[in-house]
Amino acid sequence: MSELISDSECITTSNFNFSGLTSIYKGKVRDVYVIDNKLMVMVVSDRVSAFDFVMPRPIPFKGQVLNQLAAYFLDATKDICPNWVLLVADPNVTIGILCKPYKVEIVIRGYLTGHAWREYTAGKRIICGVSMPEGMQENDKFPEPLITPTTKSDQGHDLDISREEIIKQGIVSKDDYEQLEKYSRALYAKGSLLAAEKGLILVDTKYEFGHVNGKIFVIDEIHTPDSSRYFYADTYLELKNARLPQRQLSKEFLRQWLIKNDFQGLDGQVIPEFTDDFVKEISDRYIELYEKITGRIFERAETSNVLDRIHQHVNAALLPLRRGI
């Protein structure tokens, strides 16, 4: 792996004034620029979040990994469900169709781990209105993948919710929600197949959807380490049977490190210090997943004057796109 680049060479924030700009939204990780109320420029920063908090230091190349992995998987699944992408304008930027998002995230779980396992060990056997079998152990495979949706909150924490409540509250219509579930199951099946071909298990993931003129699109990212959990297939059974932690490629290791250092986003807790070595470890893990899942060598983009690079690439890409809308 290469030497750690400085925080100043990472994308921590952006403040572009692209042609046709109508609004800006800054999330925990992405800065989203709306163009002519029809296009969306998504700048994927190097910020990293956990427990709904942005961590104090950026992670080199994390944004590039997420952006390029999302593009890889969205292209590989466009025959299953239309997606919002028009083009990748820069290693850290995707431009696509502005969709009206559904206010839910579709979480699909193939294995009993993470949040579902924590609920299970607390004695719960129903999550988001869906039953979990008795007698399961951590990391066991479910008989069928479970869909456990959450609310999509603009501020604060996303909350578990059942499909019945989503429909009852009118958050998503019955017909649309059923289609979202169908798309999610098909996308998860394809993602699992792609992972298996590379010796990985797609353990769980989440999907976000939007719509334009009655047509549903996949939006945001899919099958990235921020939205998904992967286990290594070759050691899965051995580690599970020995009741040992799985070798995994995901952001879960960061959450576990924070928990061990007494931070879960609770009142009064302080985010622990991110040393240079730990920042590099996180960066290396993101790059490892990219190379493992795509089979491609990760090519680090030029990081000097990174914001100038993005501004130039996006403006050039927007010229023909704006003429066509």
Whether 33 maps to a domain, the answer reads: yes
Q: Model pTM?
A: 0.90
Whether 137 maps to a domain, the answer reads: no
Q: Which residues are within 8 A (CB) of 247 and not within 5 positions of it... i.e. 6 or more apart?
A: 231, 232, 235, 239
Domain count, the chain: 1
Q: Which amino acid is at 245?
A: P
Residue reference for tokens 């380490």: 225
Alpha carbons 111 and 247: distance in angstroms, whole number: 14
Alpha helical stretches, state H, the chain: 62-76, 114-121, 163-168, 174-197, 236-241, 252-260, 276-294, 306-323
Identify the burial level of 205 via C-beta atoms within 10 angstroms of its C-beta, where 0-12 means exposed, 13-18 middle and 19 or more buried.
buried
Whether 68 maps to a domain, the answer reads: yes
pLDDT in tens, the chain (325 residues): 456 788 889 999 999 999 899 999 999 999 999 999 999 999 999 999 998 899 999 999 999 999 999 999 999 999 999 999 999 999 999 999 999 999 999 999 999 998 999 999 999 999 999 999 999 999 999 999 999 999 986 555 678 999 999 999 999 999 999 999 999 999 999 999 999 999 999 999 999 999 999 999 999 999 998 899 999 999 999 999 999 999 988 888 898 899 999 999 999 999 999 999 999 999 998 998 899 999 999 999 999 999 999 999 999 999 999 887 6
Whether 40 maps to a domain, the answer reads: yes
Whether 130 maps to a domain, the answer reads: no
Whether 78 maps to a domain, the answer reads: yes
Which CATH number belongs to the domain containing residue 297 in this structure? 3.30.200.20
Residue reference for tokens 């100038």: 308
Whether 192 maps to a domain, the answer reads: no
Residue 59, domain extent: 7-99+286-323
Whether 127 maps to a domain, the answer reads: no
